[in-house]
Amino acid sequence: MTESFELVDTEDVDSPGDEWEEIDVADTEADRIARRRDREFSEFRKRIKDADQFKVEASVFDDATFAALYKLVQDGYIDAFGGPISTGKEANVYSALGGETAADVLDVDDNPEVAVKVYRINASDFRDMRGYLDGDPRFEGIGHDKKQIVQAWVRKEFANLTRARKAGVRVPEPMAVERNVLVMELLGLDTGRAKRLSEVHVENPETAYEVIREYMRRLYDAGLVHGDLSEYNVILHGEELVVIDLGQAVTVHHPNSREFLERDCHNVAAFFRRQGMDVTDEDLLAFVTDDTSD
């Protein structure tokens, strides 16, 4: 059997002319850029690993975390890394010198110091995290892949901080989120490590209580419940009380939001009872939900 084929005029055949050369050139340029990026990235990784205060922690970062940090440096949120502030179960918090973009966000002239919260994908208890994302319309359709869950969690913390600020609750100003890394305003700078409410002597507990219950009410009016509020997640920043750790905060749509709110009220009221105040969990709950009969 003979194969049949159609003869075509050579002029109709694409010639390996300009077009092909162009493709070749573009390929080479892309390769060059990719090689340069790889080189810069490994230099960056080495620099972080060699940074004195960063040594131990950096050795536990995976490549994806390095890539996220690298992007944040490129985007001007981070200029130089400082030391660890806290090593938690799920995340470590570091201080860093912010870049130009960070200065723009905070509207300051000099590069500000920033807090960098790095969630550890492997160490995170993502099953527990998954539960907190349930019923949250902002994170519908999130699957069960742990990397995705941790990243959704970090975006959720960023979104919660943004919403809380809009509602008039003093929380750290969120600046950027990249994969498992969150950059935010650094608190308690002048005094070294930021002090928690649990670590200080509260001279005027009445005022502190009024501020915190007002924050809780504003948060609730904005459709959020903190979910882990206590004297450990309120930081003293100068004269201000600042609420932190909004990763687990849920919207009021969450099936357990009422239970979380009651727990928050209990923790807060119990702390102020220990300061000698006559406050009840129920009164606080009624204040927050505006469910007062008077």
Ligand X SMILES: Nc1ncnc2c1ncn2[C@@H]1O[C@H](COP(=O)(O)OP(=O)(O)OP(=O)(O)O)[C@@H](O)[C@H]1O
Interacting positions 39-78 with ligand X (CB under 6 A): none
Number of CB atoms found within 10 A of residue 49's CB: 14
Q: Of the ranges 26-34, 38-46, 85-93, 133-141, which one interacts with ligand X (CB under 6 A)?
A: 85-93
Cβ atoms of 202 and 151 within 8 Å: the answer is no
Q: Is 173 in the site for ligand X (CB under 6 A)?
A: no
Q: Is 238 in the site for ligand X (CB under 6 A)?
A: no
Q: Is 264 in the site for ligand X (CB under 6 A)?
A: no
Catalytic residue at 38? no
Q: Name which position in 188, 197, 243, 268 contacts ligand X (CB under 6 A).
A: 188
Note the Cα 69 to chain centre separation in Å: 13
First vs last Cα of the chain: how many Å apart?
Answer: 99
Q: Which is nearer to ligand X, 82 or 188 (CB)?
A: 188
Q: Closest by alpha carbon to 251, among 134, 130, 136, 128?
A: 136
Tell me the residue nearest to ligand X as measured from the CB: 88
Q: Closest by alpha carbon to 169, among 105, 221, 231, 108?
A: 221
Q: Is 216 in the site for ligand X (CB under 6 A)?
A: no
Q: How far is the CB of 266 from ligand X (least distance, A)?
A: 18
Q: Which is nearer to ligand X, 229 or 261 (CB)?
A: 229
Q: Is 150 in the site for ligand X (CB under 6 A)?
A: no
Amino acid present at 219: L
Residue 125 phi/psi, 5° resolution?
-85, 80
DSSP state of 276: T
Catalytic residue at 228? yes
Number of CB atoms found within 10 A of residue 237's CB: 19
Q: Is 88 in the site for ligand X (CB under 6 A)?
A: yes
Q: Closest by alpha carbon to 157, among 144, 140, 135, 173?
A: 173
Q: How far is the CB of 80 from ligand X (least distance, A)?
A: 17
Cβ atoms of 91 and 120 within 8 Å: the answer is yes
Cβ atoms of 136 and 250 within 8 Å: the answer is yes
Query: Which positions from 101 to 130 touch ligand X by CB under 6 A, shown as an x/- string?
Result: --------------x---------------
Interacting positions 153-172 with ligand X (CB under 6 A): 172
Q: Name which position in 91, 96, 219, 268 contacts ligand X (CB under 6 A).
A: 91
Positions in the binding site for ligand X (CB under 6 A): 85-86, 88-91, 93, 115, 172, 184-188, 194, 196, 233, 244-245
Catalytic (active-site) positions: 228, 245
